[in-house]
Amino acid sequence: METGRDAEETAGLLRALEFSAAKHRDQRRKDREASPYINHPIEVASVLANVGGVGDLTTLVAAILHDTIEDTDTSPEELEARFGRETRLLVQEMSDDKTLDKMERKRLQVEHAPSLSEKAKLIKLADKICNVRDVTHRPPARWPLTRRREYLDWTERVVAGCRRGNAALEAHYDRVLREGRELLGRADVGSSGD
């Protein structure tokens, strides 16, 4: 039977899911219902495959692992030993330097986006698609409307540096951003909806 993906690749994807689920097991997203954190990396990998048509195993595995260095005790060496050097480097490209303050980290994401590898740009784009959807439909508890709008604006600046790699993903990002702004309004226009 022709499956388009051999058994070894499927096994690698499942190992990444198992590893990421174990690492994120005690974490929750910031939405009101405190959704399990692992939903997010699974969604990012699913958007890459199902919206972007991305079949490259390393990209999908790195998407599943993309927040493990930043948000868990996972070391780059541990990722390399289990998933290989390319995956380790991709996840490192996705990881902010947590010694810097948050505003500086956000500024650096915008600055660094254009110099990311092509695969990291795709993961970054899928990550922003998922976070725009979350900020629109399942926002962090207690975020006022202004902060949600500013977050959408910031993703647009990061995504500007990640374009020209996958038209379907970019069109999808543009669509979810437009929907988000229709629901929340734009930061630069002002609204009485706050």
Other CB atoms within 10 A of residue 84 CB: 14
> CB-wise, 52 or 180, nearer to ligand NDP?
180
Q: From residue 117, how far is each of 34, 113, 123, 124, 142 by CA, in Å?
A: 32, 9, 10, 10, 35
CB of 142 to ligand NDP, least distance (A): 10
Which listed option, Zn ion, ligand NDP, none, makes contact with residue 150 (CB within 5 to 8 Å by class)? ligand NDP
> CB-wise, 61 or 185, nearer to Zn ion?
61
Outline where 24-83 has alpha helix (H).
39-50, 57-64, 68-71, 76-83
Give catalytic status of residue 71 as yes or no.
Answer: yes
Pick out residues in 154-193 that bind ligand NDP (CB under 6 A).
none
Among residues 43, 93, 127, 134, which is the contact residue for Zn ion, using CB under 5 A? 127
Pick out residues in 35-94 that bind Zn ion (CB under 5 A).
67
Q: Of the residues 9, 70, 86, 179, which is catalytic? A: 70
Determine the Cα–Cα distance for residues 39 and 156; give it in Å rounded to an integer. Answer: 23
CB of 121 to ligand NDP, least distance (A): 16
**What three-state secondary structure class fits 81?**
helix
134 binds Zn ion (CB under 5 A): no
Determine the Cα–Cα distance for residues 185 and 179; give it in Å rounded to an integer. Answer: 10
**Which are the contacts of 73, defined by CB distance < 8 A and separation ≥ 6?**
23
- Number of residues lying near ligand NDP (CB under 6 A): 19
Name the site residues for ligand NDP (rule: CB under 6 A).
29-31, 40, 67, 102-103, 106, 127, 131, 134-135, 138-140, 146-147, 150-151
